[in-house]
């Protein structure tokens, strides 16, 4: 009889005990990869930007003129033959500018909006402070769910309307920034 009561007790507990998931509303299997698709989901953006710019300009100006006059009369009587004053000037200038830069970084952003076509608007920032050198990275853009790879990773080249801003503040900027007296001399001269 004891065994029957224990069996009934175990069976009744099986139907009354329910386990709940820690993550409500998700039906993700053990081996499925969670791809960001709703507001608040995280995506890692790998920023790889390369910029190259080249500009050149040149100009040439040449001018030649000749002024002449003949024998003078009156106060100019001392001029007894035709006299001329040639005038020539020339100017040449050339300028060239080349700019190259590469930037690589990684930042995790959040989905802040889901558009009607299911594209995701993402935004995020990252601030690091290494030896009194503050670096700040801001990323915002629109990403298609098809461009999100395994592990919720997307490259910056797949961000539409992307805004990528990098700034730094610290000793490196202080060395590169000219001092007050240098700025004053540059303004005057």
Q: Which residue has the higher pLDDT, 67 or 115?
A: 115
Q: Is 123 in a helix, a strand, or coil? A: strand
Q: Looking at residue 188, what is its pLDDT?
A: 67
Q: Where are the domains of the chain?
A: 42-179
Q: Would the pLDDT of 27 be above 60?
A: no
Identify the band that residue 93 occupies on the pLDDT scale cut at 50, 70 and 90. confident
Q: Would the pLDDT of 38 be above 90?
A: no
Q: Which residue has the higher pLDDT, 91 or 134?
A: 134
Q: Would the pLDDT of 171 be above 80?
A: no
> DSSP letter string over 87-120?
EEEEEEEEEEEEEEEEEEEEEEEEEEEE-TTS-E
Tokens of 35: 């791809």
Phi-psi map region of 29: left, alpha, beta (phi>0 left; psi -120 to 50 alpha):
beta
Q: Is 81 in a helix, a strand, or coil? A: coil
Q: Is 61 in a helix, a strand, or coil? A: strand
Q: Which residue from 38, 35, 5, 26 is spatially nearest to 118, judged by alpha carbons?
A: 38
């Amino acid at each position: 009889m004891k065994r029957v009561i224990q069996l009934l007790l175990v069976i009744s507990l099986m139907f009354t005990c329910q386990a709940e998931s820690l993550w409500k509303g998700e039906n993700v299997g053990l081996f499925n990869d969670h791809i960001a698709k709703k507001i608040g989901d995280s995506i890692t953006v790998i920023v790889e930007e390369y910029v190259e710019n080249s500009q050149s300009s040149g100009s040439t100006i040449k001018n030649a003129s000749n002024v002449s006059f003949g024998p003078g009369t009156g106060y100019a009587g001392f001029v007894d033959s035709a006299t001329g004053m040639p005038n020539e000037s020339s100017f040449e200038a050339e300028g060239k500018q080349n700019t190259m830069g590469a930037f690589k970084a990684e930042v995790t952003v959040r989905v802040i909006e889901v558009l009607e076509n299911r594209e995701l608007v993402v935004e995020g920032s990252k601030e690091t402070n290494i030896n009194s050198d503050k670096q700040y990275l801001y990323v915002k853009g629109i990403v298609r769910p098809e461009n999100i790879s395994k592990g919720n990773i997307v490259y910056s080249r797949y961000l539409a309307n992307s805004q990528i801003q990098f700034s730094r503040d610290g000793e490196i900027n202080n060395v590169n920034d000219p001092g007050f007296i240098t700025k004053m001399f540059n303004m005057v001269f």
